[in-house]
Amino acid sequence: TQTVSQSDAHVTVFEGDSVELRCNYSYGGSIYLSWYIQHHGRGLQFLLKYYSGNPVVQGVNGFEAEFSKSDSSFHLRKASVHWSDSAVYFCAVRSTGGLSGKLTFGEGTQVTVIS
């Protein structure tokens, strides 16, 4: 069984400041990790993914994430947030084995950007 934990339910950050959203997972095998953003009343939009290779991956709109096998983590970062980054962010994990492509999501982190 794979689990994903996002320790911060809500983060408030000033526009122009940096932000880091934490994601920790629990799974014994090989996995695929991703981050999604959900603006209010909308569906999820893909930000970035990691499967192998360089542990730092770049995504859309200046987001990046870093994978750490030792910490079982996949934290999301942005150097300078914009008001439009206010949304809920979900970390997701998927097993690379087997036939199912189902994603297991974390609880989500609500990000509020203030000026």
Partner 1 sequence: NAGVIQTPRHKVTGKGQEATLWCEPISGHSAVFWYRQTIVQGLEFLTYFRNQAPIDDSGMPKERFSAQMPNQSHSTLKIQSTQPQDSAVYLCASSLDLQNNYAEQFFGPGTRLTVL
- Under the rule (CB under 8 A), what is the footprint of partner 1? 32, 34, 36, 42-46, 49, 51, 90, 94, 96, 99-108
- Gap between the Cα atoms of 1 and 57, Å rounded: 25
DSSP state of 85: G
What is the CA 82 to chain-centroid distance, rounded?
A: 17
Q: Which is nearer to partner 1, 41 or 115 (CB)?
A: 41
Q: Which is nearer to partner 1, 43 or 115 (CB)?
A: 43
Antiparallel, parallel or unpaired: β 109-114 and 24-26: unpaired
User: CB 41 → partner 1: shortest distance, Å?
Assistant: 8
User: CB 29 → partner 1: shortest distance, Å?
Assistant: 14
The two structure tokens encoding residue 79: 């150097």
User: CB 49 → partner 1: shortest distance, Å?
Assistant: 6
